[in-house]
Structure 1
Amino acid sequence: SGQGPDILNIGNTWSASLQSSGALLPWDAKNFEAIGGKDRFVESALGSTGVGGQDPAAVPLYSMAYALYYNKKMFKDAGIEKPPTTWDELVTTGKKLSKDGKSAIGVEGSNLSNNIHQVFVLGKQHGADFFTPDGKADFTSDGAVAAVKQYVDLMAADKIVAPGNAEYAQNQSLSDFARNKTAMVLWQTASATFKAQGMNDDDWGVAAAPVQSGTPGSGKSTNSMVAGINMAVFKNTKNIDGALKFVKFMTGDAEQRILNKAYGSIPPVKIAQLDPAFDTPALGVLRDTLRTSASALPQVPEESQFETVVGTAVKELFADAAAGRPVTTASVKAKLEKAQQQMPKK
């Protein structure tokens, strides 16, 4: 319309989708130089700024990662000394915690984006990316099917997620966690949310999100997507100099420390990350995850549709699990085939 603002915040997973509109300013070498240079930013954060091989459509503002948060009181009451590090351990631990009307781990079964974040990570652990190298949807590979089934099976087979979680979409799992109804949640940068829910910092602990075996690291031990917020500039702005100056200020070392301390997130600017404030037990796990074991969601123009159709497939599978209907490899594959058919044809 030409009537929008000069600058906008965007969830980093949508960078490539919005880039495909052609409305955003490309961050070429000249524009990066105007804000201090591209090499100031952490590589993982730059990985979620647009399609590979093209100039980024945005610059990182703050970074987040998923971690496993656990309720210390519930763990102590169950005689559990440390959080699980693998999915098998999570299920074993979870069965000790799922009793007396309480559940081991919460999910947001009707939150499409959260569903995508979780199954994407599990997909990486199963060797699947959901898209081929040339950008075509690939939702029905063995790895993708195994990833979705493993996630839904936390409710369907392992019985460590309460059936009511199938309807959660608005942070209800965090509320259950704060009220000692759920012992664990997989969430991104949750400390500020817990405080708002009335929890003290010593009520909860945080650990790296589980992997299939071993410890988090590169490749199959990916245990988080690269979460966060980017800043983009509309290409048709009549105030490009002012826009670049504002982005430079927001991504400057000093403001990065202020912003990310306030949000409980991690600065995507290298120098700002060195501040001791980001080396606390809560934030150190997130920082290390972003450095070593996080992967960017597929940087393809169809990423937004991917979140919608596959996120909906997972939502429907959780509904099946909650209703007691069987969730099988065949039923998972059928849902993913339906999702793939809804994607734009290339």
Structure 2
Amino acid sequence: MRRSLALGAAALLAVSACSVGSNTGGSGGDKEITFLTFETPNLTPAYWDAAIKRVTDKNPGIKVKKLVAPTADGRTSYAKQLLQSGQFPDVMIAVDSAGFAEAGNLYAWTPDELKDFQFPQANPVNGKYYQLPANTQTIPPIYYNKKMFADAGITAPPKTWDELVTDAGKLKDKGYSPFTIGGGKDGFPSSMILSGLVSTEVYNTMPDWLTQRRQDKVKFADPAFQHAFAKLADLAAKGYVDKTSVSRDYAATEQAFLDGKSAMYPMGNWFAANADSKKHDFEVGVFNFPTEDGKLVVPAYTGGGMIVNAKAANLDAARKFALGFQLDKDQLDASVKADGLFPAIKGYTPPSDVGPTFKAGYDLYTQAVQQNAVVHAFRWETADDGLLPGMKDKVDQAAQDVITGRKPVADACAFLDTEWAKAG
């Protein structure tokens, strides 16, 4: 099995690699590194090529061979395949450091290298920091179709969970599908509502819940987690979440919302970039994920940056490229416009010409920071703060099982506890 996995990774690598460098021309002195990327509706091949060139133009002598993960959500699994086949990339972006770091495969960033980041102590692994804490993402705010809300007589976005459920009923009565969800090969769109529920309800009262789960002090089957999960089941039972949509991949899910197929789209703040740039015939609004009592609680994740292979042949070039990519003002501006990111870099200010959806979401996040109302985003945490390796896919599966009615909430939670024991 391991041999076939390695051969599969080698075949994928052969068809997904291309070189991008500066305009200085190739020379014997160039230091070549491999860089694992992933593609989404926002992060296209053209985006990555331009980003790499932007950095290598300012760092002549570095040549980059771009690698592309087969799926956006499978990039960490793909990195594991490449490691097993002896082709571990030199630099990887938004790949979970857990597992790789403990095995000695990743370079640990020094305090001096982290001095320009707002949250240098994000995502620790046994007290060391292997992933550059480059961006903050709110996961998930809820984007909505303002025209559908107005047609349904909804005059203001909901702040409490009961208000959200009531509004969903009004939308359904008007003939609109309340929520856009997906899944398919990407998985995570199906668990977005669950992420919001656990973050705002469980983490709000027990911010270290996942740490306690690692210590076996709490379980998924405990009442607090089941109570949050049951609200997703209730939405599905009322027909507010279309159970047939869990097979729809991420790109198709986003397009369905932009095409006006439903009224609300729970998704990470990166959607704002496409909401502001892609064609649609309605105004997009955004509101924070509602809470049980209306208290402001905003789930967010800081990280998603680059990790570097500790055994890279050109380690200095890999480190220089990674830091150059994450700290360059022009590249940060490009990432904001392409992927709606909130760069977690000291002194950084987004460009003045960002779109209205991005600005609205950024303002919501800024208010949450000012009110100390930010919590971890369940499922999206990494390293010592995150789920055990392999558990993100299990969370997606559990959400899909509940949405489709294949499992009641109690069985889905028991499944997560069983899989956790296997992963540990």
- Structure 1 counterpart of 2:102, from 1, 17, 20: 20
In structure 2, do the counterparts of structure 1 residues 166 and 259 end up closer, same or farther at CA, with 3 Å as the change threshold? closer
**Which structure exhibits the higher relative contact order, with contacts defined as CA atoms closer than 8 Å and separated by 6 or more residues?**
1
Alignment of 1:168 with 2:251, yes or no, is: no
Match of 2:404 among 311, 319, 330: 319
Return the match for 2:232 from 146, 151, 158. 151
Partner of 2:317 in structure 1?
242
**C-alpha separation between the residues in 2 aligned to 1:298 and 1:246?**
22
Alignment map for 1:39-54 (pairs within 5 Å): 40-43=116-119, 46-47=121-122, 49-51=123-125, 53-54=126-127
Higher mean alpha-carbon deviation, 291-300 vs 135-144, is at: 291-300
8 Å Cα contact 2:179-2:241 kept in structure 1: yes
1:115 to partner: Cα distance: 4.3
SS in 1 for 2:280: coil
The aligned residue for residue 136 of structure 2 is 63
Cα distance in 2 between the residues matched to 1:262 and 1:124: 26
Which of 85, 89, 100 aligns to 1:5? It is 89
Q: Is this contact kept in 2: 1:94–1:104, CA < 8 A?
A: yes
Matched length: 320
Q: Deviating runs (4+, > 6 A) in structure 1?
A: none
Letter in 1 for 2:223: D
Structure 1 unpaired stretches of 5+: 322-326
Amino acid at match of 1:267: P
- Distance across 1 between alignment mates of 2:252 and 2:260: 13
SS at match of 1:209: coil
State the match for 2:40 in structure 1: none
Q: Which moved more, 1:176-185 or 1:190-199?
A: 190-199
How far did 1:25 drift? Answer: 0.8
The corresponding residue for 1:324 is: none
SS across alignment from 1:16: coil
Q: Tell which deviates more after alignment, 172-181 or 233-242.
A: 172-181
Which residue in 1 is equivalent to 2:284? 204
Select the structure of larger CA radius of gyration: 2
Q: Which runs of 5+ in 2 are unaligned?
A: 1-82, 204-208
Question: Contact (CA 8 Å) 2:180, 2:253: kept in 1 or not?
Answer: yes
SS at match of 1:270: coil
Aligned to 1:280: 359
Q: Normalising to structure 2: TM-score of the pair?
A: 0.66
RMSD value over aligned CA atoms?
A: 3.0
Q: For residues 105 and 118 of structure 1, do their structure 2 counterparts lie closer, same or farther at Cα, with a shift above 3 Å needed?
A: closer
* Aligned mates of 1:191, 1:183 — CA distance in 2: 16
Could you tell me how far apart the structure 1 residues matched to 2:353 and 2:255 are?
Answer: 26
| Letter of the 1:265 counterpart | L
Q: Summarize the Cα distance change of 1:235–1:59 in structure 2 as closer, same or farther, 3 Å threshold.
A: same
Relative to structure 1, is the Cα distance of residues 138 and 68 closer, same or farther in structure 2, using a 3 angstrom cutoff? same
**2:215, 2:300 → 1: CA distance?**
18
TM-fit CA distance, 1:63? 3.0
What TM-score does the superposition give when structure 1 sets the normalisation length? 0.80
SS of corresponding position for 1:226 = strand
Q: Is residue 2:153 matched to residue 1:72?
A: no
Letter in 2 for 1:205: G
Q: Tell whether the 8 Å contact from 1:104 to 1:161 is kept in structure 2 after alignment.
A: yes
Letter in structure 2 aligned against 1:336: C
- Pick closer, same or farther for the CA change 1:199–1:213 going to 2, 3 Å: same
Q: Is residue 2:220 matched to residue 1:139?
A: yes
Q: Distance in 2 between matches of 1:114 and 1:130?
A: 21
1:95 and 2:157 are equivalent in the alignment: no
**One-letter code of the match for 2:141?**
A
